[in-house]
Amino acid sequence: MRLIVTGGGTGGHTYPALTAIRALRSRVAEAGGSVDVLWIGTSAGLEAKVAAAENIPFKTVATGKIRRSSNPLKLVSPSNIKDMGRVPLGVAQARSAVADFAPDVVLGTGGYVAVPVGMAARMCHRPLVVHEQTVRLGLGNRALARMATRVAVSSESTLQYLPEAARSTAVVTGNPVRPEVLTGQPDKAVQALGLWGFERALPTVYVTGGAQGSQQINQLVSDVLPWLLGHANVVHQCGPANEEALRDRATSLPEPLRGRYLLTGFVGPELPDVLALADVVISRSGAGTLAELTALGRAAVFIPLATSAGNEQEHNARHLADADAAVALLGRATPDALREAIGPLLTDPARRAAIARRAGEHGRPDAADRLVDVLLSVIEP
């Protein structure tokens, strides 16, 4: 089987693609076959590093980025005009790559680079599957949805945002989650991170702003830290660049509280075990984070990144908050708002369990297999 994958720029587009590739290879290998993959992306995007690490052949094409603005006149900016002028070149390069590789199917997971490749798939009469991770479609996937053979979405709520012409091709698969995330063990987190001072009778909160951390989340948690540690143990992944600045706050805590707090710049292979240990997660609300936490059935307090493209993180958080499957700090996030949001989850185990249960109802731990089903279904015999 021959597969072209396109999409990237961020982890939100890249890692679902990688998880789908691994799941597809496993499925085909079980049947005695193999999968040849070509990844088409940009040299500056995360996908270039991921493809290299996975020994997946990689090609680049020219692409343009539309800088969003609520003012339509600002969309016609010199930068946008210059970048859009690169699209025809990208389409030509992509068409050549698709024609040469002759894939059985093309999978696009979003990002601007997916647009010329998706258009090339259509021109070369190759099946195109578009996967959308967020509640609302990104600009790239919105453009490709009308020409896709199938549109795979992560939530039923996304169906209403599809172009009408694409709704008949849509299928809800969920957002692929790395299998290792689902196999964590709480005791391994205690061992690996040396959490000997944690009071196991108290709930554990995992705080994360992503791999690089979030200054906003770090500050909010720091402002309520003594209060928070009065109700919970805390693993605080703050980002490598922020750890030193927060260390004084940690060392100045009263002795009984200090043992319940772990400040770390980065959580690596221990992440699945930390997530298994956590009763509540404080985090951003990117699509990958939502997919993992709902697949695990974790109670969460989301603090959306205000500058996310198309305000997608707020839409993601609101989607779960409206279903009472998470708590979201929408608008201005303050220490008082964080206390009010997380307090009931820490002091009321029944409330915490109810939120976690409803989060799990939105989770799709088998999303990668569902997406593989869609890929295989469009291949002509």
The per-residue pLDDT for range 66-98, each reduced to its tens digit, is 545 555 555 455 655 555 556 788 899 999 999
Look-up of token digits 């930390």: 274
Mutual angle of helices 312-322 and 287-296, in 10-degree steps? 20
Q: Which of the pair, 87 or 374, is modelled with greater confidence?
A: 374
The residue-averaged pLDDT of 15-24 equals 97
CB 356 within 8 Å of CB 298: yes
Q: Is the pLDDT of residue 365 over 80?
A: yes
The residue-averaged pLDDT of 31-60 equals 95
Top-confidence range, 128-142, 226-240, 248-262? 226-240
CB 319 within 8 Å of CB 345: no
Residue % of the chain over a pLDDT of 90: 80
**Under CATH, what is the fold of the domain 2-177+366-377?**
Rossmann fold (3.40.50)
Q: Is the pLDDT of residue 114 over 50?
A: yes
CA distance 363 to 347: 25
Helix, strand or coil, per DSSP, at residue 229: helix
pLDDT on residue 78:
61
Strands 2-6 and 58-60: unpaired
How open is the CA angle 290-294-297, to the nearest 5 degrees? 145
pLDDT on residue 85:
59
Backbone dihedral angles phi then psi of residue 330, each to the nearest 5 degrees: -100, 145
pLDDT on residue 120:
97
pLDDT on residue 65:
60
The residue-averaged pLDDT of 138-161 equals 92
Confidence bin at 218 (pLDDT 50/70/90): very high
Of 72-76, 151-155, 176-180, minimum mean pLDDT range: 72-76
Q: Is the pLDDT of residue 110 over 80?
A: yes
Dump pLDDT digits (tens) for 115-135: 999 999 999 999 999 999 998
Q: What is the mean pLDDT of the chain?
A: 92
Q: Is the pLDDT of residue 25 over 90?
A: yes
CB 155 within 8 Å of CB 132: no
Which residues, in sequence order, are CB contacts of 86 under 8 Å at separation 6+?
62, 63, 64
The residue-averaged pLDDT of 37-42 equals 96
Q: CATH 3.40.50.2000 region(s) of the chain?
A: 2-177+366-377, 179-361
Percent of residues in the chain assigned helix, strand, coil, to nearest 5: 50, 15, 35
CATH (residue range 179-361): 3.40.50.2000
The residue-averaged pLDDT of 47-53 equals 95
Q: Is the pLDDT of residue 347 over 70?
A: yes
Backbone dihedral angles phi then psi of residue 30, each to the nearest 5 degrees: -60, -30
pLDDT on residue 196:
95
Element (H, E) at 264: strand 261-264
pLDDT on residue 67:
47
Confidence bin at 29 (pLDDT 50/70/90): very high
The residue-averaged pLDDT of 45-58 equals 95
CA distance 67 to 78: 11
Residue % of the chain over a pLDDT of 70: 94
Strands 58-60 and 105-108: unpaired
Tokens of 359: 């989060």
Confidence bin at 381 (pLDDT 50/70/90): confident
Tokens of 138: 């990104």
CB 189 within 8 Å of CB 273: yes
Of 23-32, 207-216, 320-329, minimum mean pLDDT range: 207-216
Whose CA is closest to 292, among 365, 206, 237, 234?
365
Helices (H) then strands (E): counts for the chain:
18, 13
pLDDT on residue 373:
98
Continuous H helices in the chain: 11-30, 46-53, 72-75, 78-84, 87-101, 114-123, 139-145, 186-193, 215-223, 225-229, 243-251, 255-258, 271-277, 287-296, 312-322, 335-347, 349-361, 367-377
Look-up of token digits 């185990």: 349
State the first-to-last Cα distance of the chain, in angstroms, to the nearest integer. 11
322: Cα within 13 Å, side-chain hemisphere: 7
